[in-house]
Structure 1
Amino acid sequence: MTSVPTASAPLPVLRRLSPPLTALAAVAVPTAFVSVVDPNTSGHYPECPFLTATGWWCPGCGGLRCVHALTHGDLTGALHDNAVAVLLFGVLGVLWLRWGWAALTGGPPPRVTVGARRWALIALLVLVFTVVRNSPIGAGLAPPLV
């Protein structure tokens, strides 16, 4: 006698949602900390080693200030502190929503593939951002010194 394969029952909704919700919690906890502990006052966070060594703002400089501004509803301040971080957070937010929706509806998680050309374009964007924010014309893209 041979057994007839049966379709497995779908996972319960909470079990399907646990990976995206865990990722959300992993981001929410440090974000809440940065929301409360202001990076605009000196002494709370270490200085950027790239800034210390070169005097140039690195692509990540101002990221904590950007998060702090976003948690307080200040989009203009966040863009001033680190525009690339705001763009990255937006992209990651959309990807997380797609992941959560797929988990909620029982669909497969979305796949994100970034080819070599896109990586090169991203690297070029970050390089241009870094050079511009360190030039006189891009001073508005650099966070204020603390």
Structure 2
Amino acid sequence: MDASPSPAAAPGPSGRQPAPVPVPVPGAHAPAFPPTPVPASRLRRLASPVASMAAVLAAFGYVGAVDPNQPGHYPVCPLFRLTGLYCPGCGGLRSAHAVAHGDIVAALGSNAPAVVGYGIFAVVWVVWMVRASRGLPLRIRLTPVHWWAIGAVLLTFTIVRNLPFGSVLAP
């Protein structure tokens, strides 16, 4: 065996030894290179939208089985109890009950914005499923203008449904 230093350990032009190259040690905590991410399986990507839909279907199933038109099953709206005014959510359970039984006209009569919300949820859920199956994230960006517009529509609906000429919108 030759006892001379290897060319890698030879001093550089400045006369200093180069820094030692780290050698991976088995069982070390930090790998030399981060592992490449493994793409999630299709089943894993679809788990969140499927679980969300299962929760929604369970809720609609419960509301469809337990009639909110019968007193004593659900609590009364606190705003209605205190003031006698309908909030934008009043009639939402009756609307969900009607949708669960396929009566869209009665659902619209109980709470029209809720029915619109059910439809928006259905469309967003389908887009979510398609994007998740393709491995793409769901990105919905609502700006403050969108939130203010939604609030204005709900406020207008609430005011109109509590006026005498808007009683058709009351649940």
- TM (norm. structure 1) is 0.88
Which has the larger helix fraction?
1
Matched residue, 1:140: 168
Match of 2:47 among 1, 18, 23: 18
Match of 1:126 among 154, 160, 163: 154
SS for the counterpart of 2:111 is helix
Shift in Å, 1:8: 5.2
Q: Distance in 2 between matches of 1:89 and 1:116?
A: 22
Listed as ranges, the matches of 1:47-58 within 5 Å are: 47-58=76-87
Residue by residue, what CA displacement relative to the aligned partner does 1:31-81 show, whole Å, maximum 9, x if unpaired? 110000000111110100000111011000000000000011111100000
1:111 paired to 2:139:
yes
Match of 1:61 among 87, 90, 115: 90
Larger-gyration structure (1/2): 2
Shift in Å, 1:139: 1.2
Q: Distance in 1 between matches of 2:137 and 2:170?
A: 37
Matched residue, 2:126: 97
Query: Any conservation in 1 of the 2:132–2:138 contact (CA below 8 Å)?
Result: no
CA RMSD of aligned residues (A): 1.8
Flag as ranges the 4+ runs of structure 1 deviating above 6 A.
3-7
Gaps in structure 1 of 5+ consecutive residues: none
- TM (norm. structure 2) is 0.76
Report percent identity of matched pairs: 45
- Larger RCO: Structure 1 or Structure 2 (Cα < 8 Å, ≥ 6 residues apart)? 1
Q: Distance in 2 between matches of 1:77 and 1:19?
A: 31
- Paired residues, what number? 140
Q: What amino acid sits opposite 2:168 in the alignment?
A: G
